[in-house]
Structure 1
Amino acid sequence: MYSLDQLGYDSYFQDQNQSETHLIGRVSTLANGIYKVLSADGEYPCQVSGRFYHRAIEARDFPCVGDWVLFERMPGENKGIIHGVLERKSLLSRRAPGEKQEEQLMAANIDTVFLVNALNQDFNIRRMERYLMQVYESGASPVFVLTKKDLCDDVEEKIEAVEEIAFGVPVHAVDALHRDGIEVLQPYMQQGRTVSLIGSSGVGKSTLMNQLIGDQVQKTQDIRSGDDKGRHTTTHRELFLVPDGGVVIDTPGMRELQLWSGDDAVDQTFQDVEALATQCKFRDCAHDQEPGCAIKQAIQNGDLTEERYKSYLKLQRETKFLDLKEKYGSHRAARIQVKEIHKGTW
């Protein structure tokens, strides 16, 4: 038996549920087409109905971890059939690994995403910008959690570096292994609230998960001594209940993050660059050789780093290409890209 309130079943989902015949539950894991669903009546392995399956067109039509689903219990069996998915509050996704243009769903209905990064040799501001874009695109609220502060001699400098690329986003440094700083994360872990953890392989997500939940729910491994990088320990997405209230969803570490979409997310992530662009002398300034360019002036003055501006341009081009692929397909999008590169407009 599970408390729907603790699982996050609030008025947003209650107002959508008009079914008098189906049970309501939340997906906690997914493996090989089997969804583990937690409900007030217990825990059930479920599959989508045949009708549901044939009506689904794309990846986001199917349930994912964190979704609220309507299901029925099969007579005489401890399993169920899913008939519908309630509208999501938020959806964390990325482009699936490989050549195909497919979306990979990571977790749904998240309130806060902990962007977990390690304060060791793997500290990477440019990667953090990509993760921040991903969270803005999802509709959830980002929080940076910098782990392994016991291995870092310049914690405050690194916190300041993150704050410079994440305007208004909370940044916390912790040593999860020794529970140093963990208490600052407790306010996010409230009854009915959902937190998800994302980050690269080996940044300490599993150790942090175990400390947040108060149990060894995830295996941990030591980092490699040669390059300070870690190994994959979490192998699938899973939803956990926090004893004192709330829900945490862990996700596997990512060696790379390919964005799915996000023009608006670029604007949110690079608010400083966007603000500077409005101060240029010419409205159509290309920020190259034009006089009165506020961005070029900011770089010369040291108010904006050239690395951050290059990252902004790179992510702009990446999201632009994703939009072209969605509209025209990969081959035509590539042709358009080549033409614009030759014109100097890409």
Structure 2
Amino acid sequence: MTVAPASNKIPATLIPGDGIGPEIVAATMKVLDALGAPFDWDVQQGGMAGVEAAGDPLPKATLDSIRRTGLALKGPLSTPLGGGYRSATVRMREEFQLYANLRPAKTLTPGGRYEDIDLILVRENLEGLYVGFEHYIPIGSDPHAVAVSSGVNTREGSRRIVRYAFEHAVKLGRKKVTLVHKANVLKALTGIFLEAGREVAKEYEGRVACDDRIVDACAMQLVLNPYQFDVIVTTNLFGDILSDLIAGLVGGLGAAPGANIGDKAALFEAVHGSAPDIAGKGLANPTAILLAAAMMLDHVGLQNHATALRKGIDTVLNVDKVRTGDLGGTASTDSYAAALAQKVASYRA
């Protein structure tokens, strides 16, 4: 395929992150440059690097950059232990109202437990039990005798995330959306999500089918027969758990990109951790953040570039057999990136 050169630069924030983050981000930049992706990067810090640079895992300069560009790509961020620090990623989701967490999972290399997996999970990002309304009740001499947590789901928030899932399904030609809930027990908290989801589903009758599953049954059925699912949409906590389960169907988080989408900003990321134990050793696999970059290209309307990047990854992994150690190969982070850069450069006009 041929990728035509693009002339207009697109402002975007780049957050290398911690641990293996700078390595996999550097590899991604090498590949995107070879592809001719027209981003004008503003490099900012987050996580431990943000603490070292500005005393905050999410410095004001980083927030200001994302506010200006409305677009960000980030490596994994570590949350400092103690000191009352909250996850920088969660803070970014809240700050920019990134309500939709998009987690596709697709088989990259054959020979695993499952073949030809192609699923999308859409997770509500701002509500549910992750709102963090928690407190302790003291009893006697124990100040933490009872822990209480409250979840919040709104009808409008539920409608918004389900509608996003259906619109995404329509855009990609998907056939079915599954609403995942626990309305048999959490009748109010997830019942409102199921009720709102069914209302939205009626708007798409004849275009996209809809069914629903209780979350525990969904988890079992994903392991027994994942092919019955297409697009899954669910609440915050359930989405956090099921997205990692789905990543396990395709080999783990090293193959799992993610996107956090709002009305005014979008953040694309590798969802795995910072892996400080292998940082600087050239062992890290950059595939997840490369796939996140492909999602970012789709988001800004550069579908030809995104398709070329995904095709390049498939060819390098499965035809050229250039793979990092976690995929059974011997390539370093840099040599894998170099092979992919060479491949995608051949697609350019």
With normalisation by structure 1, the TM-score equals: 0.31
- Higher share in helix: 2
Structure ID, larger Rg: 1
